[in-house]
Structures are given as C-alpha cells and as structure tokens.
Copies of this chain bind each other. A is one copy, B any other.
Amino acid sequence: MEFNGNQTATDVNQTKPIRCIVKLGGAAITCKNELENIDEENLEIVSTQLRQALLSSDKVVGMDWSKRPGISDIACNVTGFRDKLSVDSTNFIVVHGGGSFGHFQASNSGVHKGGLQQPLVKAGFVATRISVTTLNLEIVRALAREGIPSIGMSPFSCGWSTSGGNLPVADLSVVAKTIKSGFVPVLHGDAVLDDVQGCAILSGDVIIRHLAAYMKPDYVVFLVSFVNEEFHSMHFHPPTEPNAVLLREIGEHSLLAIAVGEDGSWSITKPTLQHMNNQVEITVAAHDTTGGMVTKISEAAMIAKLGIDVYIVKAATSHSVKALSGELREKIPDDWLGTVIRFSREEVQ
C-alpha cells in the first residue's frame, strides 16, 4: 500500500475522526442474478438505517432533487430547509460493491486481467465503468433522499490506480476534504489503470482496507446478503472430514466471532466447533472477479489487526442497525446474529 507524492499524514489527519466505514455488499443492494437490477426495497431500508444510526436528526430533508422514472415532479422542499438551523453532523464513509452491476462487463472482457491494448479489454473497461457508475449514482440518490449528504466519488476519477492488480496507490486527500466539508463520500469498486498490466478491477473490499488503514475509523460494517452467492464460496473444510460446513449458516443463524492475532492470522472463537481445529479452507467461485469471500475475510482480518472492530451482518435487519450504531463495541448481545472480527489474543466477548 503506497501513497503518491500528494499524500501526507497531515492531509488525512486534518479531517475529523471517522466514526465508521460502511460496506454495502453488492448482493445486498442488487438482485445479483438479474443483470443490473437494484433491490430498491433493500436499498431503501439500508438508507433509512444509515440515517437512523449515523445522523443525529430523525427529520428527513431530501437531497435528491432530480427526476425519477414514473414520477413527474421533482421532490424539492426548499422552504423546509429555511427552518433548519444546523446541518446534521456526519462522519462516515460508504463503499459499495457491484453486485449485478459491472461483473458481466468485466468478466466478459477480462478487464481484471489487464491488457488495455486489446480492443475487447478497452471496450470492457468503458462498459464496466458505465455499469458501476450507474449503480453508484442510484445509491447516492437513495441516500440523498434519506437526507444523507452523499457525494459519489469514483476511484478512477480520484486518480487511484493499482500495481499488478494488487496494491492501491490512492491519494486520500479528496476523501478527507469531502468529509471535512460535512459530506458522506460514496465510493465503489471500479475499473482502474494499473501500472503493470494496464488496467485492473479495484474491489470495494480492498478500498475498505485502504481507507481503514489510513483514516482509522472506530469500526467497519460489512452489510451483506446471505441469500445470494456472496457466502457460497466459503466452507469449513476440516481436514479429517469429507463434508464441508457452510460458514454462512453459522454467520446467519448464530454469532460467529473471529479473533485476529498480531500476525494477521485468525481463529474462530465462537461457536466452538468440534473436530474442526479452527481450520478453514476457502474456495473461490469462478464467476467472482473480485475474489469474493477470500478477499472479504482477509481484508477484514487486516482491518481488525489495526484494532478496528469489523462486523459482517445481514443488511436491512435489526442486527445491522446495532452494528451501524456502534453499540456492539461495548457489548455484543447474546441474540445478535452476525460475524464480529476483532483484534484479540483472548476469546472475543
């Protein structure tokens, strides 16, 4: 992980402390198996929960004054703002994945493998960016309708690039300035330039780790979907047993607690599984160009290693509200369902 010449510690530290970084999993806000279809209902619930958990006001002041299909009028209550004396304080960042946006375009052209001199890759790069920025705009609008002062920011336009598909070179000064000005940056997985292979896909999960490392939020929340494939690729493979146990079944129906050591290694502390030796082997689904669950857990462990709690929780549930509000940092209730990944040599409480 590197910074370019424009990045200094001062740039990032000038901003106020970040409360949290929220990842909206692509599968949680889109219909993953239907091409470019947003799960409007889930997106609306998620947006409402973000406002309730992270904005100080209950009053919604809509900030999307653009036309919507099927709705003739623009929703703009200018006079409503005149009574409002102060702006709600916000200090969080949203990063979203692609879900059913971008994957088709990227995987059909091989953008993630690089090779911009090939017409197909170049066209796929353009097509991928169109698809992911379409989703970004819709998410920004959904958040703005809830009164969250959201600002869409594409990693490509921010000048972020990768090297060999891996390490982001990312100037965070624009993100920091955006937060300092009272806005909520909404970033996304994107097709970016790569100084080794020409181009690559920079996943939302890698962005999260980068932001977490340099902006030191109090906690990070991954809002995911359990009904789609997001977790399908992750299995427990106890070496002595032929049958794999799906991790998603544990994470969805009971608390899963993972403790991360100083070296980044991790082990499951809750529930206690018999015959498992805490050993996990992960297989990647072939269609997932961003690495899916492998990336997610690895990145989460890297974040937790920094002393930042990571919660992976089903989006649009009562459990996700608890994770977003930060109350899990004090104590995790017995009835909370989700995964907590926390730096500790001891068992997670």
- Chain A positions within 8 Å of B, measured between CB atoms, are 4-6, 35-36, 61-67, 69, 74, 76, 78, 81-82, 84-87, 104-105, 108-109, 116-120, 122-127, 129-131, 133-134, 137, 140-141, 144, 149-154, 156-159, 161, 171, 173-174, 177-178, 181-183, 193, 198-199
Which of B36, B117, B137 interacts with A133 by CB under 8 Å? B137
Q: Which of A5, A130, A133 has the most CB of B within 10 A?
A: A130
Q: Hey, which chain B residues are within 8 Å of A152, CB to CB? A: 129-130, 133, 154, 157
Residue in B6, B64, B117 whose CB lies within 8 Å of A127: B64
Q: Which residues of B contact A35 (CB under 8 A)?
A: 67, 74
Q: Can you tell how many copies of this chain the complex includes?
A: 2
Complex: A84 Cα to B122 Cα, angstroms: 12
Asked whether, in the complex, the Cβ of B119 is within 8 Å of the Cβ of A66, the reply is no
14 contacts between A and B (CB under 8 A): A6-B171, A64-B126, A65-B108, A65-B124, A81-B118, A81-B123, A116-B182, A125-B149, A130-B137, A130-B140, A130-B144, A133-B133, A153-B154, A178-B193
Cα(A212)–Cα(B200), bound, Å: 30
Residue from the list B6, B84, B116 in contact with A5, Cβ < 8 A: B6
